[in-house]
Amino acid sequence: MSRESTIDGLVEQKYRHGFVTDIESDTMPPGLSEEVIRAISIRKNEPEWLLEWRLKAYATWLKMEQPNWAHLNIEEIDFQKISYFSSPKSDKDRPQSLDEVDPKLLETYDKLGVPLHERARLAGVAVDAVFDSVSVGTTFKAELRKAGVIFCSFSEAVAEHPELVKKYLGSVVPQRDNFFAALNSAVFTDGSFVFIPRGVRCPMELSTYFRINAAETGQFERTLIVAEEGSHVSYLEGCTAPMRDENQLHAAVVELIALEDANIKYSTVQNWYPGDENGKGGIYNFVTKRGDCRGDRSRISWTQVETGSAITWKYPSCVLRGDDSVGEFYSVALTSNYQQADTGTKMVHLGRNTRSKIISKGISAMQGQNAYRGLVKVSPKADNARNYTQCDSMLIGKKCGAHTFPYIEVRNPTAKVEHEATTSRIGEDQLFYCLQRGISEEDAVSMIVDGFCKQVFKELPMEFAVEAKALLEVSLEGAVG
Amino acid sequence: MLQIKNLHAKVAGKEILKGLNLELEAGEIHAIMGPNGAGKSTLGNVLAGREGYEVTAGEVIFNGKNLLDLEPEERACEGVFLAFQYPVEIPGVNNTYFLRAALNAQRKYRGEAELDSVDFLRLVREKLKILDIGDKLLHRAVNEGFSGGEKKRNEIFQMAVLEPKLAVLDETDSGLDIDALKTVATGVNRLRSPDRGMIVVTHYQRLLDYIVPDKVHVLADGKLVATGGADLALKLEEQGYAWLEDGGIQSLELGAGDQQ
């Protein structure tokens, strides 16, 4: 076997998905119309104002066209063929114990180091006696309540904190922002809501809590995080464990609001089903994520590790409105087989002395196509704005591609904007160097990739940095077994 | 310890080694000199098992084993070390971490216990002391941003830690100024050992002022065309490689190498 084909063998991701459940009976028939939106709102028992908000978004969406500017090959999506509501699975339709779960999936959990007590929940096992999530969740919840932190599902927030939702919903990502954001605004079914009151440092990584409680993410998720003056929060979404979903299109919206001196750290580790080795059947992940540094000296930091999805199209962005505010974006995106990613960030400098930093690491293997697209915009009033962008691409094998599209718009002469970009090939020479020292090929590949991603991994909460590293190893070393 | 018999090898379809024979005993240092394109680097890469170097005939016996049957990493674990002409950068991978991974992979292969970080650091300190080099390179990524001299020193440092049985130094002197050359040569000399054979591949004689070989071979057009003592290197330096083609080989073989 030639070295080239060995590398291909190594990077060929063996996606160990779990099981595919039958479509639930309580699923709306496919199609999108005003009636469907009304029906969603009724099922969710929503107040009138939210229904109106949805309908307005729907009217906007109808006038929009699906964009096609990304460096992506997307089969046309028929929005009338999608079902926009399905109720959560009932326990009787789930596997009743881990014994019923695909052993391959369990093996992956093992490799990823997923704690034993989380495996059942991740695999979708009915959680009665098997797994005591309730008590763990309750403990967390009590601790959060004591600190005054609100962390609940979006539906719960609509019911219990309507004034907060009403005040902030759509204030960062307006309905008309883009095609998919408008669609999400019309049909979103659930998501998460976080509110950190003034001066509070959230007593725990919301990641931990999140993993226990919010596994079932919808097709059209909505996340809203509000950090009041001087508060701090670190939030992690996603999971390194592979996620299979019958919904092909995922169009989430995430809005972050940081008031004066507030600090939001948002980390994503996503491992959606990428499709088979011919690129069939994977998830389309079209997400709008934006943070608004609304107050002076506020700070928003995005960190993402993306290894899944057939197509990823997202640009977690920061609007640096407050003076001296800071935006950061750290990203690792891996595309293998026929995966495509067009991802990056936007840093919009509006306030004075605003700073932004972008570290993007793209890894392409097999026929994977990886594009970085980033906008750095400095408005006329943003005196002394600073940006540093570093954009590195790594190619594994010869059939993949890496593309970089930096956009820089500077309208203030005091701005200082730096952009660095490199492209390297994990090459025969690096591999041979490792082999010649006695290191096995698999260890060599993961070592090289891990080194490449180091700047981003160190931004992740510790436990997830370890998992993210394992995730890349699994993604690149399907042959391990 | 090493017997190379009638070795033929191709690179990109072109025959580079055309029947090379060489015997090396433990404890010896052999220098291989030759003009550009003679196949000097090819020899090192073939011994290390690099992809793209296709052996078409001949055999290589290393401590009783057929080296050509082994994977590159197995050859390394058997004790074959190649000091690269162009050491490769691996950004973000700490040099110490890399070296420990390598040493432990080799130890595991040999059925020895892996070293924990405390023991490993102790070993590393000891080797740094022997080589008389600072510990700065421990904290950096593998060869990343290293100067030419630092890269070569790092190769020698790796060799010191991995303690190979056979070390092939591929143009270790290329791109070095005289001070860096001396440092590297000093390191190599300190790693001379009765259990270790070394092949020093070089284009220039000057390295051999500092690393005095037991034998000097001249490689031309894929074969060893002459073998002699350290003085052969001086002869080559004086006369240039052109002298070989102008009948110098014949004169050597006649035992009259000093005639003009």
pLDDT tens-digit readout, A169-216: 999 999 999 999 999 999 998 888 999 999 999 988 886 444 433 344
Average pLDDT in the A227-249 region?
78
pTM to 2 decimal places: 0.79
Low-confidence ranges of chain B (pLDDT < 50): 251, 253-260
Which residues in chain B have Cβ-Cβ distances shorter than 8 Å to A437?
76, 98-99, 102, 105, 158, 162
Which residues in chain B have Cβ-Cβ distances shorter than 8 Å to A393?
none
Q: How far is B243 from chain A (nearest CA, A)?
A: 35
Least confident of A63-72, A119-128, A402-411, B127-136: A119-128
Q: Residue B73: which of A3, A429, A439 has the nearest Cβ?
A: A439
- pLDDT score, position A13: 39
- Kindly report the CA angle at A190 between A186 and A196, in degrees rounded to 5? 110
Which residues in chain A have Cβ-Cβ distances shorter than 8 Å to B142?
451
B71 interfaces chain A, CB cutoff of 8 Å? yes
Q: How many helices (H) and strands (E) does chain A have?
A: 13, 18
Average pLDDT in the A342-359 region?
96
pLDDT tier, A426 (very low <50, low <70, confident <90, very high otherwise) = confident
CB spacing of B102 vs A435 below 8 angstroms: no
Q: Which residue of B53, B75, B107, B142 to mutate against A (max A Cβ within 10 Å)?
A: B142
User: Cα B81 from chain centroid?
Assistant: 7
pLDDT, tens digit, 9 for 90 and up, residues A20-56: 333 333 667 788 999 999 998 998 889 999 999 999 9
Instruction: Check whether A150 has a pLDDT greater than 60.
Output: yes
- pLDDT score, position A316: 95
CB spacing of A439 vs B48 below 8 angstroms: no
pLDDT, tens digit, 9 for 90 and up, residues A362-413: 998 888 888 999 999 999 999 999 999 999 998 887 888 888 999 999 999 9
**Comparing C-alpha atoms, which of A42, A301, A292, A268 is closest to residue A177?**
A292
CB spacing of B76 vs A436 below 8 angstroms: yes
Token pair 């008389």 is found at: B132
Q: Residue B91: which of A2, A434, A451 has the nearest Cβ?
A: A451
Q: How far is B104 from chain A (nearest CA, A)?
A: 9
- pLDDT score, position A81: 82
Q: Residue A438: which of B50, B77, B93 has the nearest Cβ?
A: B77
Share of chain A above pLDDT 70, in %: 78
Q: What does each C-alpha distance from A298 to A27, A182, A360, A413 come to in angstroms?
A: 42, 28, 22, 24
CB spacing of B92 vs A437 below 8 angstroms: no
Average pLDDT in the A402-428 region?
90
Written as six digits, the tokens of A141 are 């919840």
B105 interfaces chain A, CB cutoff of 8 Å? yes
Strand partners, A359: A330, A390
User: What CA–CA distance (Å, rounded) separates A252 from A195?
Assistant: 19
- pLDDT score, position A23: 33
Strand partners, A408: A376
Average pLDDT in the A240-250 region?
65
Q: Residue B93: which of A435, A441, A447 has the nearest Cβ?
A: A447
Written as six digits, the tokens of B158 are 């790796």
User: What DSSP designation does A90 have?
Assistant: P
Closest alpha carbon within chain B to A456: B92
CB spacing of A443 vs B105 below 8 angstroms: yes
Q: Considering chain A, what is the average pLDDT of its residues?
A: 82
Could you tell me if residue A137 is left (phi over 0), alpha (psi between -120 and 50 degrees) or otherwise beta? alpha
Residues of A engaging B, defined by a Cβ cutoff of 8 Å: 2-3, 424, 428-430, 432-441, 443, 447-448, 450-455
CB spacing of A441 vs B73 below 8 angstroms: yes
**Of B222 and A72, which is predicted with more confidence?**
B222
Q: How many helices (H) and strands (E) does chain B have?
A: 10, 12
Instruction: Check whether A158 has a pLDDT greater than 80.
Output: yes
Average pLDDT in the A451-466 region?
85
- pLDDT score, position A477: 59
Q: How far is A335 from chain B (nearest CA, A)?
A: 20
Q: With contact defined as beta carbons under 8 Å apart, do B131 and B160 qualify?
A: yes
CB spacing of A447 vs B141 below 8 angstroms: no
